[in-house]
Chains A and B, each alone.
Chain A
Amino acid sequence: MTRGARVFWTGFVLHFKNLSASPFMMVTAAIWPLVYATLAFLMFRATHQAPSLLYAALGAAVMGIWSTTATSAGGAIQQQRWLGILELLVGTPARLILVLAPITVAIAGIGVYSIATTLLWGRLLFGVPIHVLHPFLFAVAIPAAVLSIGMLGLVLASSFVLYRSASNLSQALEYPIWLITGMLIPLSLLPGWVHPLAWALAPTWGMRAVRRAAIGGDVGVPLLVCAALTVAYTVLAFLLLHHFERLARDRATLALT
């Protein structure tokens, strides 16, 4: 592994561990997706024209990934500042993006717990068959979705740390992104002008890859777009963070005190 990859991986493992030890994070990741899955199951089961329950289970699961990201990744840099660690992180010779990206990706990664709990919940309480068509692709699609959504979280975190008054919007982004990225609602039901927006968002493609790997359809294109968006977000976050670091050194905003 190269130095950069090692820094990223160590950081990811550490932050994943740290977040897993947080009861609040775990409640967000484990319980809320179950609530939405239950709602979707009951709503979809009430009629005969609705998509399948497996469709709903997978949607609620990926909604969980976005949930943890929207609620925690947006404030991830602030959080490090409050912990008094931001200074220490910036003070290391590692590149800032390699230090901060693992944090938001780990936050998205916590959403993986929600995939496990929703599928299990659906199986046990609603008899939803856990039938994954392409287990291998499914196993690839999940990390791809997590990575791209986590990097989107980093873009949010780095823009919010620059424009602090916007940071409260992070949480308010939860429903809108669920709405337009095809988690439970097919994109085709939404007005045309929403589509380009949805295409630029990683959750759309992550969701598509995960769902198609399980239910059927082409997985290659969504995976490729996921990868491309990951790269695009990385570049964007890099530029934002570069600007942030310069600004922070200039304005003395790294420490809380």
Chain B
Amino acid sequence: MKTWLRIFFVGGVISFRALFSWIRPSIYIPTMLLGPTTQVLFFAYLGRTAHLKSDSWFVVGNAVQSASVAALFGMGFAIDGERWTQTLSAVLATPANRAALFLGRALPVLVNAAVTAATGFLGGALLLGFRMPWSQVPALALVLLLASFACTGLGMLTGAVGLRMRDVPIIANLTMAVLLIFCGVNIPLDKLPGWMHRTADWLPMTHSIAAARRIAEGASLRSVSSELLRELALGLTYLLVGFGLMRFFEQEGRRLGTLDRA
């Protein structure tokens, strides 16, 4: 959902604050809740147009994708937004543990991402008649959490890059575009050119989406365990690399004085 990013820009700092202290329902509901549902609908109908896959296939793919994007952008906001309000250097000046600082910031983002995905499923259920066994819901929830975690990891990485470059939103936009095209959200992986298929293997979301689709069809957690482990490993890797970069850029930033925007 690039719209979240746009709110940041178009609405400026005011909207950003409202978005991130998501207390204001007037912003939260349309962007976070209507967004996933309309996206699910759009791609399901696009799938019908192309005669490609069932509605359910698109519901699962897009709902999981909306979670990961919420995570990706949430992390970017959490880091870049601080620089906007020029408090980043104040926070960094505190002796707080860096890991706790940034991971603490990641937690609400993660929860938000899972809620976003849930609304995508709900929208699919209400408007497209998406059904799955109730008994599979806990397993699906776990997959969603994992997908959000993996993307939060990637968000940490893009956020870190954002600490350095001045265009977090543009980087986040590009990342999101890549994920949307590569990860089998709307295009079956086997229909992608070989190099894209191979790249997808190393991106977060690809494996969660595949696992979520099978779980929605009734498969057990055990049967998708290899996909889940792979996702977990990817998420951890991105998170660690992101965190490492963050520390590195923080040092650099102090040296070069680029932490604050103004």
Contacts and interface: CB of A to CB of B under 8 A. Distances in A.
Q: Taking the complex as a whole, does A directly touch B, i.e. does some CB pair lie under 8 Å apart?
A: yes
Interface in A149-190: 165, 168-169, 171-172, 174-176, 178-179, 184-186, 189-190
Interface string A179-203: 1000011100110000000000000
Interface in B1-51: 2-3, 6-7, 9-12, 15, 26-27, 30-31, 34-35, 38-39, 41-42, 45-51
Contacts of B11: 75
Contact of A38 (B9, B170, B181): B181
B181 A71 contact: no
B26 A27 contact: no
Contacts of B34: 172
Contacts of A28: 2, 6
Interface stretch (A41-49, A88-96, A222-230): A41-49
Contact of A189 (B7, B31, B49, B186): B49
A20 to B, nearest CB: 16
Nearest to B169: A24
Interface of B: 2-3, 6-7, 9-12, 15, 26-27, 30-31, 34-35, 38-39, 41-42, 45-52, 167, 169-170, 173-174, 177, 180-181, 186-188, 191-192
Given A42-B192, A82-B12, A172 B35 contact: yes
A51 interface: yes
- Tier of interface size on chain A: 35 or more
A51 B6 contact: no
Contact of B188 (A46, A165, A172): A46
A164 to B, nearest CB: 9
Given A24-B169, A42-B181, A71-B6, 7 more contacts: A39-B181, A50-B52, A71-B10, A75-B10, A79-B10, A175-B42, A185-B46
Nearest to A178: B42
A31 B49 contact: no
A150 B9 CA distance: 20
Interface string A50-71: 1100000000000000000001
Nearest to B41: A179
Interface of A: 23-24, 27-28, 31-32, 35, 38-40, 42-47, 49-51, 71-72, 75, 79, 82, 165, 168-169, 171-172, 174-176, 178-179, 184-186, 189-190
A171 B52 contact: no
A19 to B, nearest CB: 12
Contact of B48 (A32, A38, A79, A189): A189
B187 A43 contact: yes
20 contacts: A23-B170, A38-B181, A39-B186, A42-B191, A43-B52, A46-B52, A75-B10, A82-B12, A168-B15, A171-B3, A172-B31, A172-B34, A174-B38, A175-B41, A176-B41, A179-B45, A185-B42, A185-B48, A186-B49, A190-B45
Contact of A32 (B2, B12, B52, B191): B2
A179 B174 CA distance: 23
Contacts of A75: 10-11
Contacts of B39: 175
B180 A47 contact: no
- Max chain B CB contacts within 10 Å: which of A50, A51, A171? A171
Given A172-B35, A175-B41, A42 B30 contact: no
- Max chain A CB contacts within 10 Å: which of B26, B48, B49? B49
A185 B174 CA distance: 25
Nearest to B50: A50
Contacts of A72: 10
Contacts of A47: 50-52
A186 B48 CA distance: 10
Contacts of A172: 3, 30-31, 34-35, 38
A22 to B, nearest CB: 9
A174 B3 contact: yes
Given A75-B10, A172-B31, A40 B46 contact: yes
Nearest to A164: B26
B50 A44 contact: yes
A4 to B, nearest CB: 29
